[in-house]
Amino acid sequence: MIDLSVIVPCYNEEDNIQPFVLKILEVLNQYSIKGEIILINDGSADKTEDIIERLSREFDNVLKINHQVNLGITESWYSGLVKSNGQYVVTIDADFQYNPNDINILYSEIIKGDCDLVQGWRREYKDNKAIRKLLSRALSGILNGLFFLKINDIKSGFVIYKRNVFFDILGERKKYFTFQHFFIICAVKKGYVLKQVPIEFSPRLHGKSFIKNPLFFSCKVILDMPRALLNFGFVGRKKKKERT
């Protein structure tokens, strides 16, 4: 059985995807992790699809998925999860903001067996876009307050899961515009044990973020809050203790 499936959503990542895949392959080999990489082209307008096609032909453990239109990051996660074969599944962006070397940090924690998911906590936030950093931390603070949580970084999408846990969490995804901001809340409120480990978060290496207007995106998160409160804040199951 495959130890680890690495799910990588890709939207206009033509300059990042090849070096990113090569780096992940290097990490898997270095730490003797039997793994696969699942690349999801999410309706890209550049050459991302062609590069993914070539990489999937070149490497047996690189799998491809193609969305004809942009479906968003949570649908990309789900497509990757359905195609995956790993006992554990990790999600990571293709833009090098999360360091592929840190995959082993998350993997080493989850195989200890004392948690259901491990999230990379962006303690060293090196992204040079001040408004994004400010909004990210503000939203995390608001969400922590609304749901009576004390999670260091609610929004980080660099997470490793037990396979069945990720399926259960993503079962809630279609109820929200921005489920990527609520999936950790969902996990904790469902009673899953979360562990967080500090990682670096760097500026994007090439290209532009899919979030063109952070303020507009934040408004969509606010629209999701009443539904999330109904699902998780008032009637959610009692959470287990988060591990840091």
| pLDDT tens digit sequence for 98-149 | 999 999 999 999 999 999 999 999 877 665 566 666 777 787 888 888 888 8
Q: With the C-alpha atoms ordered 170, 155, 67, 83, is the resulting torsion angle positive or negative?
A: negative
How many domains does the chain divide into? 1
- Burial class (CB within 10 angstroms; exposed 0-12, middle 13-18, buried 19+) of 101: middle
230 in a domain, yes or no? yes
Mean pLDDT over each residue of the chain, to the nearest integer: 89
Residue 242, pLDDT above cutoff 80 = no
Domain that includes residue 205, residue range: 2-234
Residue-wise burial string across 57-78, b where 16 or more C-beta atoms lie within 10 A, e elsewhere: eeeebbbbbebeebbbbbbbbb
d(CA 99, CA 14): 18
Supply the pTM of this predicted model.
Answer: 0.88
| CATH code of 204's domain | 3.90.550.10
pLDDT tens for residues 154-180?
Answer: 889 999 999 999 999 999 999 999 999
Distance CA(224)–CA(186), nearest Å, equals 13
* Whole-number pLDDT of residue 220: 82
Determine, yes or no, domain membership for 191.
yes
- Is 195 a member of any domain? yes
